[in-house]
Amino acid sequence: MNLTNIPNLILQVIKKHTSNFFINNTKKHHFNADHYKNREVALLTQHGKESVLSPILKEKIGCIVTRVKGYDTDLLGTFTRDIPRAGTQIEAARKKARIGMDLSGLKLGLASEGSFGPDPFTGMLPWNVEVLIWIDNEYGIEISAVAQGKTNLVNLLTTSWEETEAFAKTAGFPQHHLIVRPEGENDPRIRKGIAEWTDLQAAFTWALEQSQNKQAFIETDMRAHANPTRMENIRVAAEELAKKLSCLCPACGTPGYSIIERLAGLPCERCGQPTHEIRAEVHGCCKCTHRVTIERSDRQYADPGHCDSCNP
């Protein structure tokens, strides 16, 4: 027997029995794959998000998405800049979910919040980030999911109906609705939800008549029900949320066991130095401290082109 291996063998035995003890003594929540089946979850929305969230969550985890009314979600912020959003994107989603739970009296809450800006790669393309949050008051857990991608956030300041027509077609009108203002992007006079060519022409004429500079400002309507591209990102986020809710922590059985961190440091194929490429993923629980680090199996080395040492 190789005596030098004894410390490693002892360590493996300790880890095995400690892990088994932890798993056997922390399953307090009694979750199973059907835990949310036929459970109602409150969704506060006035922009039709239930049309994509409800069927996915019903199919994947069996819950019933209940649309909650009685609160104007535009008060929490608008994409038309007339009401700024307070706090971060995730904070706004959490507030929506909590309001929906309070109004409905349900212990489960669901909310969606979007944001728009330049893409994180080139900074040149319009980009949409969608966040979904799931709150379970009964077990004190909060699970979020994110989807992102290129979007059609565009605008035009013009005096020409021909330019307006061309812009509208590029923006995907009439499937994607438009917004019209006189003067410029911050004028408080506004017409939203334009989804017909006749309505667009009427709004364009109105804007010119109201405008001292005889210009109309036209932009895409980024509310979910008015923008199929955004709604698709919400659908993708719903798929990701359902996947997380279906994955139970191996230690305590809580839903939401998923990737919580990605670790950089994949070694360079040429010099062996760590790079910014991902070398491992950390899977963790949203309730307990259980964590597992999984090294990536598809690649052992990074391309030297991504190495700071080889390409200073």
- Please, which pLDDT band fits residue 50 given cuts at 50, 70 and 90? very high
pLDDT score for 30: 58
Tell me the pLDDT tens digit for each residue of 155-190. Answer: 999 999 999 999 999 999 999 999 999 999 999 999
Q: What's the pLDDT score for residue 24?
A: 39
pLDDT at 25 over 70: no
Structural domains in the chain, sorted by start: 40-151+226-246 (3.90.950), 155-221 (3.30.1490)
Residues 210-248 pLDDT 10s? 999 999 999 999 999 999 999 999 999 999 999 999 999
- Using a 10 angstrom Cβ sphere, with 0-12 exposed, 13-18 middle and 19 or more buried, the burial of residue 192 is middle
Per-residue pLDDT band at 311 (split at 50, 70, 90): confident
Q: Which residue has the higher pLDDT, 273 or 78?
A: 273
Lowest-confidence segment of 3-7, 40-44, 112-116 by average pLDDT: 3-7
* CA atoms of 273 and 30, how far apart (whole Å): 45
The CA-based dihedral angle spanning residues 61, 63, 67, 72, taken in that order and rounded to the nearest 10 degrees: -60
